[in-house]
Chains A and B, each alone.
Chain A
């Protein structure tokens, strides 16, 4: 079981690779769209990479609920 910190840092790696987000900017309170400037197509890439990295399935209808990094961490923690 990965901790919340480990999941956050894994997401930060993905966000850097896919969208060029500075890992230092990634924190649970940050919004993907408003704070980290991740557009909708890049969000798809983030989701697919996160599924692979954490061994979870994130259905498309769930993605719209993942507004912040913390939302994603919570979902991954509960489902992986």
Chain B
């Protein structure tokens, strides 16, 4: 257990359910799906023609000339981070730039920029390739742009651990404050790869749902008829602060970030360990870090992506590490899978579940897998007193991250 307390004072998001945290949270509690048909011409040739686009396109927020110089993932990161910054009341707080860090990641980075510029290279030659290409596609671009937005000078860290990126970026933020490297960290992640190549790649792995005729019912974690994940896009950002720093400036506190566990499977590049051994170790590590036991965790926001291979291992893992009393959910049933951004968005859902004493629902769980022996908030949000909750994120590469948030 660390002697340094870290709290969450600001939230920001742009998601398939809404252009900000409030609208996203309202939609989650109402059990709405953000998944729809992909109607672009390029989608017609793909086996997967559904996805979860952001509800508010970044071009509605960021002016045209700036958008030309940003990858879509960077634009979304800036939007979410600015919301979180304002939400935390930091616009006028006068944070010392040398005590302000950023920990912001992406699972895939500026893939759309890379592919679009490659089209230009092929069609028009190298001279037509945009001079903004490199800062648009570099994987540290989102972190760097978020840092520029607020003048952060205590380091801008760019996490990349596939679908665990958002959670691991938050875990790194916790470390940075505990180690005394920063007082305030803008932590989060972003992803924008709804494009034929990433979709074709995931589809070739047979990882994606092909329920093209019924998009809103395609993401169905733990359901017998799940057939893969639905690709989503968006960004989530949270402001982490050393608790005494937040208290001194009179900041409103959503929750404590009480502990984190980060492990790797050492098992396979993409297949999850069927026993969830690495996930169990991450959850137990987070519990020890938080000074809690499994019995204290009343709610788990699970990683569960709606793939046949992945969903049930985590159930075993939660049972082993936490127990069978916790009410679990997969908000991916509504948002789709935001890949690198998932852990940040789901941390926000976990924090708001604590604040509002309610577990958001897992929609589409019509016919639960026979092995599902934990209590899921199926179909409807469930009122629940939640002093402590855990968020799991697992990623290709064998990354496992568990974060524990507690009531302040």
Contact = CB atoms under 8 A, between A and B. Distances in A.
A19 B132 contact: no
Interface string B333-371: 000000000000000000000000000000000000000
Contacts of A42: 131
A44 B131 contact: yes
Given A44-B131, A45-B132, 14 more contacts: A18-B65, A18-B68, A19-B65, A20-B63, A20-B64, A20-B65, A41-B69, A41-B131, A41-B132, A42-B131, A45-B130, A45-B131, A48-B127, A48-B128
A42 B64 CA distance: 14
Interface in A27-51: 41-42, 44-45, 48
Contacts of B64: 20
Interface in B27-83: 63-65, 68-69
Nearest to A52: B128
B15 to A, nearest CB: 28
A42 B131 CA distance: 7
A42 B130 CA distance: 9
A41 B131 CA distance: 6
A48 B133 CA distance: 15
16 contacts: A18-B65, A18-B68, A19-B65, A20-B63, A20-B64, A20-B65, A41-B69, A41-B131, A41-B132, A42-B131, A44-B131, A45-B130, A45-B131, A45-B132, A48-B127, A48-B128
Contacts of B69: 41
Interface string B150-178: 00000000000000000000000000000
A3 to B, nearest CB: 27
Contacts, number: 16
A19 B66 CA distance: 8
A58 to B, nearest CB: 11
Interface of A: 18-20, 41-42, 44-45, 48
Contacts of B68: 18
Interface of B: 63-65, 68-69, 127-128, 130-132
Contacts of A45: 130-132
Contacts of B131: 41-42, 44-45
Nearest to B130: A45
Contacts of A44: 131
A68 B259 CA distance: 57
B110 to A, nearest CB: 16
Contacts of B65: 18-20
A48 B130 CA distance: 10
A8 to B, nearest CB: 20
Nearest to A19: B65
B130 to A, nearest CB: 7
Nearest to A49: B128
Nearest to B135: A41
A20 B69 CA distance: 12
Nearest to B68: A18
A48 B131 CA distance: 10
Nearest to B127: A48
Nearest to B66: A20
Contacts of A19: 65
Shortest 4 CB-CB contacts between residues of A and residues of B: A20-B65, A44-B131, A41-B131, A41-B132
A36 B69 CA distance: 17
Contacts of A48: 127-128
Nearest to B133: A41
A64 B298 CA distance: 65
Contacts of A20: 63-65
Contacts of A18: 65, 68
A64 to B, nearest CB: 15
Name the residue among B63, B127, B130, B131 with the largest chain A CB count within 10 angstroms: B131
A43 to B, nearest CB: 9
A44 to B, nearest CB: 4
A44 B64 CA distance: 18
B348 to A, nearest CB: 33
A9 B92 CA distance: 43
A19 B131 CA distance: 13
A44 B127 CA distance: 10
A7 B136 CA distance: 31
A80 to B, nearest CB: 17
A11 to B, nearest CB: 16
A38 to B, nearest CB: 11
A60 to B, nearest CB: 10
Contacts of A41: 69, 131-132
